[in-house]
């Protein structure tokens, strides 16, 4: 019987994991307020819901800024450079090669999507803060845009468009994690919970991971 040996490495530090959880929950919560807003007619309920959306939006802004700062000052696998693989993306486009080489750290292909998501989240934060000022007289942009209602469309259109793109990302991200879980011999989804990633060593006779090779890189 062929058995498989794993060795594991700590890749995602606790700060990165907490930020991932924080941003993931904030994004889902923001989407839920949008779905609920469609059930409300104009009135007190809808106004309250938008206020909830704005306050959760502030929480997301804090999460995005924290992630970007941690991407510069954090450990190796939290750095934005761990997600920067232009040669792999170019190869994927040229040869339609969607097989990413296994490695410790962020998946090299998925990283392209993660960077796009952070860019979209920055636009969401700026346009969301703009809408909070223009439509509700709230937030840090209120001093600049509070009396400029004509800016509404400028903020609203990208905000709505990116909302659909982010819903697409969340669905594909979860589907990809489930797919890897079933297809690969190594677990992946739990790495954002426990911090550990696993690598298979072929043709060994025991079946548990080996602790050597562990590092806190």
- C-beta of residue 89 within 8 angstroms of C-beta of residue 109: yes
163 binds ligand HEM (CB under 6 A): yes
Q: Is 139 exposed, middle or buried (0-12, 13-18, 19+ CB in 10 A)?
A: buried
Per-residue binding letters, 131-150, with ligand HEM (x by CB under 6 A): xx--xx--------------
**Exactly one of 6, 9, 50, 63 binds ligand HEM (CB under 6 A); which one?**
50
CB of 2 to ligand HEM, least distance (A): 26
- With CB under 6 A as the rule, give the number of residues binding ligand HEM: 42
Helix (H) or strand (E) holding 162: helix 152-183
Give me the least distance between CB of 164 and ligand HEM, in Å please. Answer: 8
CB of 95 to ligand HEM, least distance (A): 21
Per-residue contact flags (x/-) with ligand HEM for residues 95 to 134, judged by CB under 6 A:
-----------xx--x---x--x------xx--xx-xx--
Closest approach, Cβ 161 to ligand HEM, in A, equals 9
Select from 22-30, 88-96, 140-148, 203-211 the region that touches ligand HEM (CB under 6 A). 22-30
End-to-end Cα spacing for the chain:
34
Angle between helices 108-136 and 152-183 (to 10 degrees): 150
Handedness of CA 40, 121, 85, 210 (dihedral sign): negative
Query: With contact defined as beta carbons under 8 Å apart, do 79 and 71 qualify?
Result: yes
Q: Does 27 bind ligand HEM (CB under 6 A)?
A: yes
- Among left, alpha and beta (phi > 0; psi -120 to 50; other), residue 213 is left
Residue 200 lies near ligand HEM (rule: CB under 6 A): no
Nearest distance, CB of residue 205 and ligand HEM, angstroms: 29
Helix (H) or strand (E) holding 111: helix 108-136
Q: Which is nearer to ligand HEM, 140 or 204 (CB)?
A: 140
Phi, psi of 202 (to 5 degrees): -70, 160
Residue 78 contacts residue 16 (beta carbons within 8 Å): yes
Point out which residues bind ligand HEM (CB under 6 A).
16, 20, 24, 27-28, 30-31, 34, 50, 53-54, 57-58, 60-61, 67, 106-107, 110, 114, 117, 124-125, 128-129, 131-132, 135-136, 156, 159-160, 163, 166, 170, 173, 177, 188-189, 191-193
């Amino acid at each position: 019987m062929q058995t498989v040996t794993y060795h594991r490495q700590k890749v995602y530090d606790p700060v990165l994991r907490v930020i991932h959880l924080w941003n993931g929950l904030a994004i889902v919560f923001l989407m839920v307020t949008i779905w609920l807003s469609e059930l409300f007619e104009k009135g007190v309920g809808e106004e309250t819901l938008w206020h909830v959306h704005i306050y959760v939006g502030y929480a997301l802004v804090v999460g995005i800024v924290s992630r970007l700062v941690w991407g510069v000052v954090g450990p190796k696998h939290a750095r934005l450079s761990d997600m920067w693989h232009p040669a792999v993306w170019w190869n994927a486009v040229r040869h339609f090669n969607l097989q990413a080489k296994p490695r410790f750290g962020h998946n090299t292909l998925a990283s392209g999507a993660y960077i796009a998501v952070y860019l979209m989240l920055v636009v969401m934060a700026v346009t969301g803060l703009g809408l909070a000022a223009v439509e509700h007289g709230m937030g840090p942009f209120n001093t600049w845009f509070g009396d400029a209602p004509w800016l509404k469309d400028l903020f609203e259109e990208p905000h709505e468009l990116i909302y659909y793109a982010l819903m697409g990302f969340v669905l594909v991200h979860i589907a990809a994690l489930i797919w890897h879980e079933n297809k690969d011999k190594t677990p992946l989804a739990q790495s954002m919970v426990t911090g550990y990633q696993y690598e298979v060593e072929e043709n060994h006779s025991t079946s548990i991971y080996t602790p050597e090779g562990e590092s806190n890189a």
